[in-house]
Structure 1
Amino acid sequence: MQRQRTKASVIPVFTLEATLKRKIRLHFTRLGFSKRPDGTLVCPASSKDSIRQLHHIQRDERIESATHLLSEFLPGALRYFASGSEIDPAMIRLSLIRVEANTFESSLFRTAALTWSVPVSNGYGRRLRYLVWDDGHDRLAGIFALGDPVFNLSVRDDLIGWTSSERSSRLVNILDAYVLGAVPPYNMLLGGKAIACLVRSRDIYDAFASTYGSTTGIISGEEKSARLLAVTTSSSMGRSSVYNRLKLDGVSYFESIGYTVGWGHFHITDELFEQMREYLRLSKHPYADHHHFGEGPNWRLRTIRVALKQLGINEAVLRHGIRREVFFCQLAENARKILATGKGKPDLSTLKTVDEISEMARRRWIEPRALRREDYKSWSRDDIPRLIRGLPTGMSKVRTA
């Protein structure tokens, strides 16, 4: 009897193991990846259209999981999206609305995030989420969200020049913009640039101070006095047109600091990830039910690596080859020095308010773009559902700046 119980407990694991290995290999093949002899993946292409195609399965999963949101919430929320014909660029006035969980604003945030062709992260740990509102027209212009940064990011760490222990104690002063962008028709007016600049505002600095000024480090678990000195972000499409040359009144808002090495887990779908967790759970591995909150932004990556190792799949498959441009935003003029040394008072002399940034960005980008290109006027809010589902809209191409 003892032998039968042991056998019965093993069979489900091995059955799932074989099935899961086949699914992972088939998934990579369907995406168009091939393998080098060392196990690393060869990306089928590096164009923006190719990158969108690599994300399409993950995006389809997100759309399917949002069925209730799209059927029950979106019809009534469409009126908060703008049609181009009702927008007077000279009247655009951007403001921020803080998003709390399980609210109307959070549903609108989720809906807006679904308009992009690449699925967005849910973020980790500390989070500040915002709707960017156009008060001049009472419409949604875009969204952004800041969350805990990844622990290992070589281009950021090389820029600051800190040691591993210094990073552990001071990373609490950095957030990552894991979601950021404008929705139509504001994206056609370079609204993405304006929204990116709002990250470097006195309003965001103060919001962080009031929410997380006294916080617990997600990696160390220690109580720390935190100040938002810098924000990082990375492009989802290789090189970014939104963050490059992002200056207002002579002040740089984001600067390019290099590229990632093309290593990560974006090509592991949510469905595959949950099956990996189930596999680890059946084999009683402790990582199966490690909750990602409090475990750091690398929780998902660590779990995938453990599952791949136990499945006998070379973790080199996580080297997908899609390099992302990384950008660094200093809210304090002396942010790098403070992060490197742990000493100094933040120099906030060039921080502007959201109102001031909105005014400058409108004059710098939005109004000139409207004069050069009038295609934004053809956009209709009624095309939002089709845009979300990846179907053709009334416009042949929606610009994403």
Structure 2
Amino acid sequence: MEEKQKQALKRKIIKNLKDYGVIWNEKKHQVIVEDFREVQRKLAERTNSKGQEYKSTVQKYLAESSDIDISKINPYLVTVESKAEHQRLWAYATSHWSVPVTVGYGRRIRYFVFDRQNDKLIGIVGLCDPVIGLSVRDDESIGWTKAQKIHRLYNCMTAYILGAIPPYNQVLASKLVALTLMFPKVREDFYQKYENSPSVITGENKKPYLAYIDTLGAFGKSAIYNRLTNWEFINYTKGQSHLHITANGSWELIRQVVPEDAFETYKFGQGPNWKMRILKIALRELGLSDEMLSIGWQRGYYRCTLAENWQEYLLGDTNQVVWKDFTPEDLVSYWHARWVTPRLDTLQTNLELYPDQE
């Protein structure tokens, strides 16, 4: 590519950033953002809004406020399938997110969380392969070596999307959705889905024991996981991200300056890191700094461990897993007792004031 074309792409990428509230100070090699939430809102508007067009076709799954008796909310999980109806409902649900929603990487398991009292959609949760390198997880949470991580990262998943949709989000149901990841069905589904699937990274046919789930708060700490049983806050990430570039329309520009074979690296099980690597190649090619990725979105890191001996297992000190004794009934009862009953009047008012579906 000629230098003139590269400069044109460079200017376009910088303009795309500016259009979403991200200023690139080229002299200082520094990203400047005045309002992180507004940037994320604008990016989400671009990436998530398409799902709203499916509202009329998925209406039967959507609750009105009058459909919900808060004291009777009782969730069950339905695996998201490839059929069109499920894809439309998933797209509609994600349109309510105020941050850009990615599709996840590598292995993926997605669930709808429905309410038994009315068979309406409470919320959604999606699990994907964890990022390869994440210091807050590797050093502060698990404390494993590189060799241990290569051996046991297979037994971890990341919740890349999790939460309730309206009107259930008015009654602390996102906390309930987070609790459903501890339902035995999740680890059992994981085992069945990957029982005969060799690890892409090592080629080994590993035991698909899902011992560890983690996630990141969208804006620092998250109210969803705050004081929620078995969800633990560990620390903050370092503040690097690719979404402010890849979700603002610049991804196709990036493709023009990166060798096509570089886009195949994700196939080797290297997780979400591949986009960061692609961007670094492109930024260098365009004469921009890697510091453009250091946007400062420090996100809260949370873990949810499904095994009593999760750390011993992930460190490779044992090959046996002792599962935590979670039951759906106990988890739902906990949610009602801890989060609903003490504030039932307030939650009921929130629900009644929320406008019904049009």
* TM-score normalised by length of structure 1: 0.82
1:336 aligns with 2:321: no
Measure, in 2, the Cα distance between the counterparts of 1:325 and 1:20.
Answer: 34
Partner of 1:272: 250
Q: Deviations over 1:358-391 (max 9, x none)?
A: 23323322343332331211223425xxxxxxxx
1:346 aligns with 2:328: no
**Residue 164 of structure 1, CA deviation:** 0.8
Partner of 1:55: 40
**Residue 99 of structure 1, CA deviation:** 0.4
1:24 aligns with 2:13: yes
Is the contact between residue 52 and residue 95 of structure 2 (CA under 8 Å) also seen in structure 1? no
**Residue 295 of structure 1, CA deviation:** 4.5
User: 1:252-291 to 2 correspondence within 5 Å?
Assistant: 253-270=230-247, 271-280=249-258, 284-288=259-263, 290=265
Q: Which runs of 5+ in 2 are unaligned?
A: none
**Residue 42 of structure 1, CA deviation:** 3.1
Aligned AA for 1:268?
I
Q: Deviations over 1:272-291 (max 9, x none)?
A: 112211332xxx45214556
1:85 aligns with 2:66: yes
**Residue 34 of structure 1, CA deviation:** 4.9
User: 1:163-312 to 2 correspondence within 5 Å?
Assistant: 163-247=145-229, 253-270=230-247, 271-280=249-258, 284-288=259-263, 290=265, 294-312=269-287
Q: Deviations over 1:85-107 (max 9, x none)?
A: 33111121100000012331222
Q: 1:298 to 1:82 in 2, by over 3 A?
A: same
Find runs of 4+ consecutive structure 1 residues off by over 6 angstroms. none
1:156 aligns with 2:137: yes
Aligned AA for 1:55?
Q
Is the contact between residue 287 and residue 303 of structure 1 (CA under 8 Å) also seen in structure 2? yes
Partner of 2:103: 122
Q: Deviations over 1:283-329 (max 9, x none)?
A: x4521455658442212221111111111111111000110000011
Partner of 1:5: none
Aligned AA for 2:251?
F
Aligned AA for 1:298?
N
Aligned AA for 1:21?
K
**Residue 211 of structure 1, CA deviation:** 0.9
Measure, in 2, the Cα distance between the counterparts of 1:215 and 1:342.
Answer: 23
Measure, in 2, the Cα distance between the counterparts of 1:366 and 1:40.
Answer: 45
**Residue 224 of structure 1, CA deviation:** 1.9
**Residue 216 of structure 1, CA deviation:** 2.8
1:363 aligns with 2:337: yes
Partner of 2:90: 109
**Residue 229 of structure 1, CA deviation:** 0.5
Matched positions, count: 354
Bigger Cα displacement from structure 2, 216-225 vs 182-191: 216-225
**Residue 266 of structure 1, CA deviation:** 1.6
Is the contact between residue 171 and residue 350 of structure 2 (CA under 8 Å) also seen in structure 1? no
Is the contact between residue 191 and residue 366 of structure 1 (CA under 8 Å) also seen in structure 2? no
Identity %: 32
Is the contact between residue 22 and residue 31 of structure 2 (CA under 8 Å) also seen in structure 1? no
Is the contact between residue 58 and residue 269 of structure 1 (CA under 8 Å) also seen in structure 2? no
Measure, in 2, the Cα distance between the counterparts of 1:28 and 1:93.
Answer: 43
Is the contact between residue 24 and residue 292 of structure 2 (CA under 8 Å) also seen in structure 1? no
Give the aligned CA root-mean-square deviation in angstroms: 2.2
Q: 1:186 to 1:323 in 2, by over 3 A?
A: same
Select the structure of larger CA radius of gyration: 1
Is the contact between residue 216 and residue 222 of structure 1 (CA under 8 Å) also seen in structure 2? yes
Q: 1:110 to 1:367 in 2, by over 3 A?
A: farther
Measure, in 2, the Cα distance between the counterparts of 1:102 and 1:305.
Answer: 36
Aligned AA for 2:47?
R
| SS at structure 1 position matched to 2:45 | helix
* TM-score normalised by length of structure 2: 0.91
Is the contact between residue 48 and residue 101 of structure 2 (CA under 8 Å) also seen in structure 1? no
| SS at structure 2 position matched to 1:132 | strand
Q: Which runs of 5+ in 1 are unaligned?
A: 1-9, 45-49, 248-252, 384-401
